[in-house]
Structure 1
Amino acid sequence: EYIRKQVEDGRPSIIKCVQSGCNATVPFELCSELLGTKSPVLAKLQQALAEAKIKNKVYCPNRRCSAPMEAPCEEDEFYPHAVCPSCSQELCAKCGVKWHHDLSCKQFAELPAHLRGDEDVALLRMAHEEQLRRCPQCS
């Protein structure tokens, strides 16, 4: 019951001993024995422990996913491009949003919110590649 409560209250990464004054942590194996291997609480604990090990954490920008992942280092070949291991969403590890292809983070951030969709970014990229300009009357 104690372990379940700790996990449900959002403190799952370190389960401390219940004895007053004891700072020992309860090993995952013991939690597994007590909760049972098919317990959803154990699955949540396992996920939290794995997430706690991620040092340079970034979250998937996909609202249906939001999985945590290790952000690529600046030295990585494709930095800041990253791909969520859970849902395959491409993202920018530098600014934490959907991948914005040929736009810098600053350029993407300056876009009005209604122009930040995948199709809009693709259109802007094509316009840039084709060197298209707005009609002077529409500008």
Structure 2
Amino acid sequence: MAIPQRYSLVTLGVADVIAATAFYRSLGWEPAPSSVEGEITFFATPGGVIALWSTAELAKDAGTSTMHANAPAFRAVTLAINVATRDEVDDAVGEWMALGGSVSKVPTETEWGGYSGYVADPDGNLWEIAHNPFWPLDERGLPVLGSE
């Protein structure tokens, strides 16, 4: 069997599931009915499920500790939200900040011809907000790769 080329679920480790859920709800995201209040929150998206779960419980489930001696401050993982225009990048980053998130990189033109910035949720999980003029968005808001 080949491993399918897709992801089904991304789980973000958070310090406080209730507070993290409140932040994502303030973005306009609605938890799925399968969420368990205060324990784990699921958000269905067009591309997969985003979960918020206690960092300690996530580490325990993965069979690892929450702190590794050689772990960098940057975990080398980001999530991305592609939008249709540069103005939408600026608007999304501004709203993210107004709702309690932070900016790690202000939106700027990229070397590949797009426009993006990086934001963090209150737990430091990084998201890129990007406009890629070479990837039109489909009806679900997902990038169409390989289009020019």
| TM-score, scaled to structure 2 | 0.21
Bigger RCO of structures 1 and 2 (CA < 8 A, at least 6 apart): 2
Higher share in helix? 1
| TM-score, scaled to structure 1 | 0.22
Higher share in strand? 2
